Chains A and B, each alone.
Chain A
Amino acid sequence: MPPPKQPFMGFGSTFNGGSKKPTLKPAEKLVYDVIKGKGDMGMWLADIKTETKIPQPIVTKAIKNLTQYNLIKDVVHVRLKGRKMYMASEFEPAAEVSGGAWYSDGALDSEFVETLMKTIFNYIGRSNYATVDMIKEYVKNTGIFKMDFTTKQIIDILYSMILEKQIEKSRSNGDVEFGSIQIGKECYRLLNKQETLVGNGFTSVPCGVCPSLKDCSPNGKISPATCVYFDKWLSF
């Protein structure tokens, strides 16, 4: 998990290199108070304007200064990335705002998730079978990840790997291949047949993956007789 973008360093710690708390103008104080009042949920720019009833240019100026003083920060909302949202610096965005532990800057940190999955996949592959605890321990010991994962987070990622048909659940029956895993204990193993991108009778013809299928008809504007995808497919 990447660290938060602007860690809170304490009032004035970075302001002009000094250590004094800045003196806020009344408008700045008002703006700061309403934003802080929203806690880890943050506040939309439009809402700040309505709530403080201060004219736009003054709000804009106040926000600019408060940001410079490191008293507030802008955050990206996971759903509405285009709109400006502010939060007092001492808060970390709530899961509803940030998207949760796997999100960074309002987007799923897919690279991070991928790396974690690959690490787990290789580990299960090497050990044939592994329990959640074994996986959690292994991930921790690799030192690749700067955060400690909870058991729930590991289970979540394993479920996602099941959905990707990378692994499947199993139960130890005490055979040698289960190693020291207790009989009856739930564990994970690699799936025999990994998902391949082989299509079927539908997806292997142009219409099967064609975005215009709905609008294509024998006598229509888009029609199989005049179809360029077919032309390309059948040009040999």
Chain B
Amino acid sequence: MTTPSGLILAEQIIKSHFGSIVAKVCNCLLHHGSYTFRDVIRLTELEPKIVKKCLIVLIQHNCVQAYSLSRAEGVSKTVTIYMVIFDNIIHRMRFPKFLKIVEERLNSQCEVLLEAIFQHGRLTFEQLSQHSLSKDKAIDLHALKESFNRLVKGRYIERCPKPEPFLSSSAEDAPPPRKRNQKFVLDTMTMEKKALANATLSDAERFCEITNFECDNDTLEDKFIEGKRKYGSHEIDKKTEATIVEKEVLWRANFQNFINFLRAKACISYKSSRLTNDAGVILEALIECCSNQSTEMEASFDEIFGHIANHQAHMTKDYVGQVLDEIGCQQSMKGIVAFYTIDLKSIIEDSRKEEMETIILQRYGKSACKIFRLLSTKNQPFETDKISDMTFVDKKEAIALFYKLWNDKILHMEPVGSTDQKKGYYLWKISESASSDFFLENIYHTAANLNQRIDYHYEENKEFILLSAEDKKEMIKNQPERCKVYQHYVKTVKILETSLLNLDKLLLYFHDF
């Protein structure tokens, strides 16, 4: 799910990371959906060679997934379709956040490895090792392999999905003769989902750690080439074969794992601030005890308590049980073992509601916030006067607010009874699409605005920024005021970038969690 401003933001990100030509190709896919190579050429009016290069860059960086489709039933020829993965584009602005997570939870070497993966999109372990060697000749390759495996084990990185899964265009996928356009859009969407599902490897494959990799870098390369020359590819021994296979495996970041981690963190901090710090600690223990990747968390009381006892000796069993209830966990018995369950989605829902209220409060004022709160808690439509009576908002003021909130697609209005203004009345409720139409769209819009403002300041100072260090010094010597302007630029961009990261917290709430 995205919105018009979401697409603008995605295009801006691609433009600033890969330049305007790649952005043009990406934009074409973003706005028009999945396309064949020919279609992209036709729509972008770029040379085939260039389009090809752009698509390769986008695939390399996990922003586009290709899949092939048979042209028609019974025909063996296939066509390759390219689809854009919107979420992966937006994740690109979260790289600093993701790196920090790995640095905190694993170690700085893992962070460096992940950074290289972010820089290159997809890499084999060999390429990664070479990359690390090029930065530090004395690097310990065994330790590097260990760090790499920690990233895999923690599911921060994964083996890349299949490059081009095949989808058969069976009769049920084919659009029916009527309502072709509408159905085609639906079909493309289901196709895209299917393609993504088909491309994904099984969990066992995705997170299979490397074991056979030869770590002595000097000899590895020679052995490998020699083996191939000497025996031919069908004669090489099992170990070398496994090494060759492993050498070719491409790895990439597993964004979903980072999102899961950020979601858990958001829930913990929400409960700490709304209840007590202990509530945060106890929820964290529950989450840490669960290895599942979904939002449903379940652990036995003993596991949770054991986890807490290791860190927070002062909590008693009674107290932990009581706080688990306060957090909103459901208790159940399996035999004689007590289990606690919570769906993080419910905490996110409460938290999202509060973020919405904050936005309404600041944009439309206290009365509007009361009205919004009433309608969202009661979750049913109310008549104009009734709302005004329940919220103690003056009837005239309420009507003006209703109009504003309705105009911004936050409220839905339903006229009831006579159309005569004096006799009929209106029912109001929170619009079902408010979350995406108003909140998400405006957050994307603001993010795009911040991005554009960063670009604007960059362009303004580009001449100076691009100077060599020496030329910069020279210029500052001749024009000392230039230095001040530059310092102001640095501060400005810092503020804008920090704001963008803060704003991203809301994007996560409204889109990713």
Contacts and interface: CB of A to CB of B under 8 A. Distances in A.
Interface of A: 78-79, 81, 99-100, 102, 107-108, 110, 113, 156-157, 159-160, 163-164, 192-193, 195, 197-205, 207-209, 213, 216, 218, 223-225, 227, 230, 234, 236
Given A218-B452, A224-B453, A236-B491, A102 B446 contact: no
Interface stretch (B23-31, B130-138, B353-361, B465-473): B353-361
Contacts of A159: 390
Nearest to B502: A201
Contact of B442 (A163, A195, A202): A202
A113 B499 CA distance: 39
A209 B362 contact: yes
Contacts of B488: 236
A220 to B, nearest CB: 11
Contact of B456 (A110, A205, A224): A224
Nearest to A195: B361
A201 B504 contact: yes
B395 A156 contact: no
B503 A205 contact: yes
A195 B361 CA distance: 10
B334 to A, nearest CB: 29
A193 B272 CA distance: 12
Main secondary structure, interface of A, reads loop
Listed residue (B362, B366, B502) with the most chain A CB atoms within 10 angstroms of its CB: B362
B363 A208 contact: yes
Interface in B383-421: 389-397, 399
B345 interface: no
A113 B389 CA distance: 12
B445 interface: yes
Interface string B448-467: 11101100100000000000
Contacts of A193: 273-274
A100 B389 contact: yes
Nearest to A109: B394
A157 B395 contact: no
Contact of A203 (B362, B370, B393, B496): B362
Interface residues of B, number: 44
A102 B391 CA distance: 12
Contacts of B366: 164
Given A160-B370, A163-B370, A203 B502 contact: no
Contacts of A218: 8, 448, 452
B358 A108 contact: no
Given A199-B358, A200-B355, A201-B504, A213 B389 contact: no
Interface of B: 8, 273-274, 355, 358-359, 361-363, 366, 370, 373-374, 389-397, 399, 442-443, 445-446, 448-450, 452-453, 456, 488, 491-492, 495-496, 499, 502-506
A204 B499 contact: yes
A223 to B, nearest CB: 8
Given A163-B370, A224-B452, A225-B452, A203 B358 contact: yes
B274 to A, nearest CB: 7
Contact of A201 (B373, B374, B492, B503): B503
A202 B359 contact: yes
Nearest to B507: A201
B395 A108 contact: yes
Nearest to B371: A163
A99 B503 contact: no
Contacts of B390: 156, 159-160, 163
Contacts of A225: 452-453, 456
B394 A107 contact: yes
Contacts of A204: 499, 502
Contacts of B358: 198-200, 203
B445 A108 contact: no
Contacts of A201: 499, 502-506
Contacts of B446: 202, 205, 207-208, 213
A224 B370 contact: no
A236 B484 CA distance: 12
A57 to B, nearest CB: 28
Contacts of B503: 201-202, 205
Listed residue (A79, A159, A204) with the most chain B CB atoms within 10 angstroms of its CB: A79
Nearest to B488: A236
Contacts of B499: 201, 204-205
25 contacts: A79-B395, A79-B396, A81-B396, A100-B389, A108-B395, A163-B370, A163-B373, A163-B374, A201-B499, A201-B502, A201-B504, A203-B362, A204-B499, A204-B502, A207-B442, A207-B446, A207-B450, A208-B362, A208-B446, A213-B446, A218-B8, A224-B449, A224-B456, A227-B449, A230-B453
A234 B442 CA distance: 21
B445 A197 contact: no
10 tightest A-B contacts by CB? A201-B502, A108-B394, A203-B362, A207-B446, A225-B456, A224-B449, A201-B503, A224-B452, A224-B453, A160-B392
A161 to B, nearest CB: 9
Given A110-B394, A164-B366, A208 B502 contact: no
B389 A200 contact: no
B492 A234 contact: yes
A193 B275 CA distance: 9
B132 to A, nearest CB: 35
Given A81-B396, A102-B392, A163-B370, A207 B502 contact: no
A136 to B, nearest CB: 17
A79 B362 CA distance: 27
A195 B396 CA distance: 25
A66 B344 CA distance: 69
Nearest to A110: B394
B6 to A, nearest CB: 14
Nearest to B510: A202
